[in-house]
């Protein structure tokens, strides 16, 4: 395997694209790989995603919960 120089490593890292880890839902919210639902909030010069629903919100202890991805595999 050929060793890359600094410039080649930087150019390679800049061309890397992360996979989309959020799914846009019909109601305009987004759901991530852990089942957390967020909505986009616009303010002044930008925006951010605010949590509106968490799959662990109602859990009281770890023994009786079902893993979120086992219930809902939307991805």
**pLDDT, position 75:** 47
- The CA distance from 43 to 45, in Å, is 6
Sequence ranges of the domains in the chain: 20-57
Strands (E), 2-64: 22-24, 30-32, 37-43, 46-53
Stretches where the chain sits below pLDDT 50 are: 75
Task: Check residue 12 and give its pLDDT.
Answer: 78
């Amino acid at each position: 395997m050929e060793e890359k120089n600094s410039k080649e490593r930087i150019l390679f890292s800049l061309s890397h694209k992360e996979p989309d880890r959020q799914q846009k839902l019909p109601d305009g919210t987004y759901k991530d790989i852990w089942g957390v639902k967020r909505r986009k909030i616009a303010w002044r010069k930008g925006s951010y995603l605010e949590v509106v629903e968490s799959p662990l919100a109602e859990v009281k202890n770890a023994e009786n919960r079902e893993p979120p991805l086992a219930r809902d595999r939307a991805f």
